[in-house]
Amino acid sequence: MASGGGNYRNVTHRNSLKGTTTTTAAATKPAVKNKSLSMVGGASSGPRKSCPGSLGGGGTSKDDAGVPGRVRVAVRLRPCNAEESVADADFADCVELQPEFKRLKLRKNNWDTDTYEFDEVLTEFASQKRVYEVVAKPVVESVLDGYNGTVMAYGQTGTGKTYTLGRLGEEDTADRGIIVRAMEDILADVSLETDSVSVSYLQLYMESLQDLLDPTNDNISIVEDPKSGDVSLPGATLVEIRDQQSFLELLRLGEAHRYAANTRLNTESSRSHALLMVHVKRSVNDRDLDHSSQNGNTTNMAKTLRPTLVRKAKLVVVDLAGSERIDKSGSEGHTLEEAKSINLSLSALGKCINALAENSAHVPVRDSKLTRLLRDSFGGTARTSLVITIGPSPRHRGETASTIMFGQRAMKVENMLKLKEEFDYKSLARKLDIQLDQLIMEHERKQKAFEDEIERLTMYAQNQISEAEENYANAMEKERLKYQKEYMESIKKLEEKWMMNQQKQGERKEASAAEEVAELKRLHNKEISLRKAAEEEVNNLKSQITQLKKSEASANSEVLKLQKMLEDEAYRKEKLEGEISMLQTQLLRLSFESDETRRRFDLGGPRKVPGSLESLISKARPQVNDLGNEEKASIANLFEQVGLQKILSLIEAEDADVQVHAVKVVANLAAEESNQQKIVEAGGLKSLLALLGSSKDETIHRVAAGAIANLAMNETNQELIMSEGGINLLSMTAANAQDPQTLRMVAGAIANLCGNDKFQNKLRGEGGIKALLGMVKCGHPDVLAQVARGIANFAKCESRASTQGNKTGRSLLIEDGALLWIVQNAINEASPIRRHIELALCHLAQHEVNAKDMITGGALWELVRISRDCSREDIKNLAHRTLTSSPTFLAELRRLRIDY
């Protein structure tokens, strides 16, 4: 039951009515749509053999792009008619249908049946619609896809062939037969703008083909294309169908003609075959073609040059003559020959089908007109459906059986579908002709326009030339007249002059020539001298101008310079004003804060902790000199609460302002001996020293150096300062300082260090003495006082070391050239300076090694003066003692005859 189900089998051999195979070019489309296969049962069991018939040697290679397809056969049982109901009432039906198995059982006798399978088994209840769908619709769809298709009805007269195919359904649309429904589907699918549907309607009777659309046309010849094998009827009327209504009218007309013809020929329609041919011509649109174009970039031009691809397909619907054998005796009034001829076509069809079904080598296609007509439909290149109609009556069992056998044989016939596609070269040629004509016309038009343009330009150029020539001639004429006039005038003037000269000559006869010459000479000389004077004047003026220009330039540059200076001054003034106003604000703020502080102290609120460092400074600031005990305690208290560590950390702050303030606080704290140890322990001294090196701000230098000076009074701190490279840092600070107060602080610090016995060599080695001496050039008495103190301290320590035997050799002060300054300032007006120097001189003089240098440096005189005049009794005595105890000094005094 199952093999080959659902589709046309793909076989390599097939039968053909033609007996030969042809190849078609463009059959690329797969056979059919799936939905169209409803009729295909695929049953292969039973009497129907699934193996297709084949013509010997007629095989088709796979390249022969046809699609194989077996002839589909459906069987339709007509319901009992009234007569049969009565007549056959006592007999059982001769057939039994099993539509669910697509089987038909034919009763042989009361106890035996034969079973046949068909592609479709349609009971007496099958609707016309269903019959159309299973029998014809797949063929119609195939035709619309470009394949030829055939639908045939075969059966005994009165079994419903015409009912199945040709009912118009005018009273009840449900009755519409296959032809009407097929046309409806075709018209619904085609586009009447690009496609065409045309129809021929014919009758075949006694081997004569009559045109049912034109009854006068009663012997139409069949033409076969030897190449393609296509069958055509050039003589038949072909009517183009544009709507269903006109088609129905055409059918009615054909039917009327058939009736008239049969009456005229004294025939019955059941003895003739009716053939409806529907030609469908469809153009294949570009989209369908795209797959066939090799490369995608087909230009528009190429598209227009490509002929339209058209698919031509033909649907043939054949309502065959009744299959019952006609009475050989010619009972219907025909001769035997006639009787033979009447059924010739049908029996030839039967023979061909047998041959095809049996795979016979010879298929007698040429035996009849019907087989010739159907050679491309049945067993040819078309898709074919056959509906065999049977009646239920057991009286016609024989005919029914023969009909069934015909159907069974037909099922074995294999068709090869071929797509009927061809290029419409004619219409392309027409199109190209039109295009060519258009191009020729266009070219002619352009040629004409070009020539017109040339003509126009030539005209224009000629006009221009003649205009220019005219203008030129006019101008020449004008010029000529002008010169002529001028010429005449000058001739006239010359004549007048000549006349006048003639007259003058007559008057001056007496004047002597000599006089005239003398006069002329005088005039000439005068002229020369005047010219010279004028030239001189000009030169004079020229030099004056250059002079003026020079002075102007220098004046200008002077002015510019002054302007620049003025601008600088203004800028500086502005800056200073800014600074003044800033200082004023600061002053205001500070005084306000100090007032506040004072008030708080007055109110007895020393416990209040100021919130900011700023207020701490303002509180700490007055402490150096003026704070009372109570205030000092309060500062100490504040310092406790804010935290020394915090203040010291602020020394390293990024903000210069904060840094200055922090250093000030530390300096103020360092002024108090009680705080000093804590500061040093917290690393304050190191931070201060580091600040000298890292900061560029002189205020910071000054304040830090002050604090270091204070801390340098303590011996332990001195050691720390020395080990931290303090001398170096202090020397550097001194070298860069502008402010005498900074120098004072630095000198003070070094002076303190000079008082330590341990550091004599190191201090000197690191340039401490040189640094001190370097500061004297500033001349400020405060600085000088500190320098002097340092030198005195150093001298005292040296003296002590020499006395203790720890030092030999000249004083390092003398080595470093301090003696000159000492001597020069020994009589300094400022008493602190003077005192320190006097002491220093005394210390130096106590050692013989220094005596010689002191004598040459003039120190001896100062010592003598001190020993005599010093207001401080102790120093005076010290000087005296020193002098008298030095043999060198005494010898020198003697040498100088000074009585000492």
Query: Least distance to ligand ADP from the beta carbon of 310, Å?
Result: 36
Return the range that interacts with Mg ion (CB under 5 A); candidates 35-43, 120-128, 156-164, 233-241: 156-164
CB 818, CB 790: distance < 8 Å: no
Q: If we measure between CA atoms, which residue out of 255, 267, 424, 250 comes closest to residue 341?
A: 267
| Stretch binding ligand ADP (CB under 6 A), from 54-62, 160-168, 198-206, 806-814 | 160-168
162 lies in the binding site for Mg ion (CB under 5 A): yes
Contact yes or no for 733/693 (Cβ under 8 A): no
* 3-state SS, residue 314: strand
**CB 205 → ligand ADP: shortest distance, Å?**
15
Between 258 and 314, name the residue whose CB sits nearer to ligand ADP.
Answer: 258
Q: Using CB under 6 A, which of the segments 74-82, 196-204, 599-607, 837-845 binds ligand ADP?
A: 74-82
**What's the CA gap between 194 and 434, in Å, rounded?**
19
Burial level of 231, CB count in 10 A (0-12/13-18/19+)? buried
Q: Are 11 and 68 in contact (CB under 8 A)?
A: yes
Point out which span in 152-160, 513-521, 716-724, 737-745 binds ligand ADP (CB under 6 A).
152-160
User: H/E/C letters for each residue in 830-853?
Assistant: CHHHHHHHHHHHHHHHCCHHHHHH
Binding mask 666-695 for ligand ADP (x = CB under 6 A): ------------------------------
Q: Are 159 and 387 in contact (CB under 8 A)?
A: no
Greatest pairwise CA separation for the chain in angstroms: 205
Q: Which of Mg ion, ligand ADP, none has residue 159 at its interface (CB below 5 to 8 Å by kind)?
A: ligand ADP
Q: Which is nearer to Mg ion, 14 or 161 (CB)?
A: 161
Where do we find the tokens 């700490």? Answer: 620
Strands 95-98 and 103-109: antiparallel
Q: Which residue in the set 78, 103, 835, 880 belongs to the binding site for ligand ADP (CB under 6 A)?
A: 78
What's the distance, CA 529 to chain centroid?
Answer: 91
Find where tokens 């390599």 sit: 12
Instruction: Give me the 180-219 binding string for Mg ion, x by CB under 5 A, dash otherwise.
Output: ----------------------------------------
Q: Which stretch binds Mg ion (CB under 5 A): 157-165, 561-569, 663-671, 725-733?
A: 157-165
Query: 363 phi and psi, to 5 degrees?
Result: -115, 115
- To ligand ADP, the closest distance from the beta carbon of 160 in angstroms equals 3
Residue 81's CB is within 10 A of a number of other CB atoms, namely 13
CA 129 to CA 800: how far, in whole Å? Answer: 147
Binding mask 332-371 for ligand ADP (x = CB under 6 A): ----------------------------------------
Residues 265-324 close enough to bind ligand ADP by CB under 6 A:
270, 322
Question: Which residue in 882, 797, 875, 883 sits closest to 834, CA to CA?
Answer: 875
| CA triple 9-14-19, angle to 5 deg | 160
Using an 8 Å Cβ cutoff, are 370 and 353 in contact? no
Tokens of 763: 């201090």
The answer to whether 153 touches 209, Cβ cutoff 8 Å, is no
Q: Pull the structure tokens for residue 406.
A: 């015909």
Q: How many residues bind ligand ADP (CB under 6 A)?
A: 14
Q: For Mg ion, which is the closer residue by CB, 256 or 534?
A: 256
Nearest CA among 203, 179, 211 for reference residue 267: 203
- Point out the residue whose Cβ comes nearest to ligand ADP: 160
**Distance of alpha carbon 656 from alpha carbon 231, whole angstroms:** 116
Residue 157 binding ligand ADP, by CB under 6 A = yes
Site for ligand ADP in 384-423 (CB under 6 A): 389
Token readout for 559 is: 């002015």
324/838 with CB nearer ligand ADP: 324
The least distance separating Mg ion from the CB of residue 415, rounded to whole angstroms, comes to 25
Distance CA 765, CA 809 (A): 16
Residue 389 binds what, of Mg ion, ligand ADP, none (CB under 5 to 8 Å, by partner type)?
Answer: ligand ADP
Taking CB within 5 to 8 Å according to partner kind, which of Mg ion, ligand ADP, none is near residue 155?
A: ligand ADP
Q: What is the DSSP string of 206-268?
A: TTEEEETTSTT---PPPEE-TTT--EE-TTS--EE--SHHHHHHHHHHHHHHHHHHHHHHT--
How far apart are CB 319 and Mg ion at their closest, in Å?
Answer: 6
Handedness of CA 894, 896, 897, 900 (dihedral sign): negative
Q: Which of 6, 47, 79, 765 binds ligand ADP (CB under 6 A)?
A: 79
- Least spacing, CB of residue 103 vs ligand ADP, in Å: 19
Contact pattern for ligand ADP over residues 83 through 122, marking x by CB under 6 A? ----------------------------------------
Q: Give the span between the Cα atoms of 524 and 541, in whole angstroms.
A: 26
- Judged by CB under 6 A, the chain residues 734 through 763 that form the site for ligand ADP are none
Q: Is 158 in the site for ligand ADP (CB under 6 A)?
A: yes
Query: How crowded is residue 436: how many other Cβ atoms within 10 Å of its Cβ?
Result: 10
Distance in Å, CB of 274 to Mg ion, minimum: 8
User: Cβ closer to ligand ADP: 324 or 376?
Assistant: 324
- Contact segment (CB under 6 A) with ligand ADP among 77-85, 133-141, 235-243, 380-388 equals 77-85
Residue pointed to by tokens 């006009």: 463
Which among 60-68, 76-84, 519-527, 534-542 is the span making contact with ligand ADP, rule CB under 6 A? 76-84
Closest-approach residue to Mg ion (CB): 162
Residue 176 makes contact with ligand ADP by CB under 6 A = no
Task: Pick one of Mg ion, ligand ADP, none as the site partner of residue 42 (Cβ within 5 to 8 A by kind).
Answer: none
Q: Where are the alpha helices (H) located in 276-368, listed in sequence order?
A: 286-290, 300-305, 336-342, 344-357
CA–CA separation, 851 and 810 (whole Å): 9
Binding window for ligand ADP (CB under 6 A); candidates: 7-15, 161-169, 208-216, 621-629 = 161-169
Window of 156-164, 595-603, 760-768, 830-838 that interacts with ligand ADP by CB under 6 A: 156-164
Which parts of this chain interact with Mg ion (CB under 5 A)? Answer: 161-162
Which parts of this chain interact with ligand ADP (CB under 6 A)? Answer: 78-79, 81, 155, 157-163, 270, 322, 389
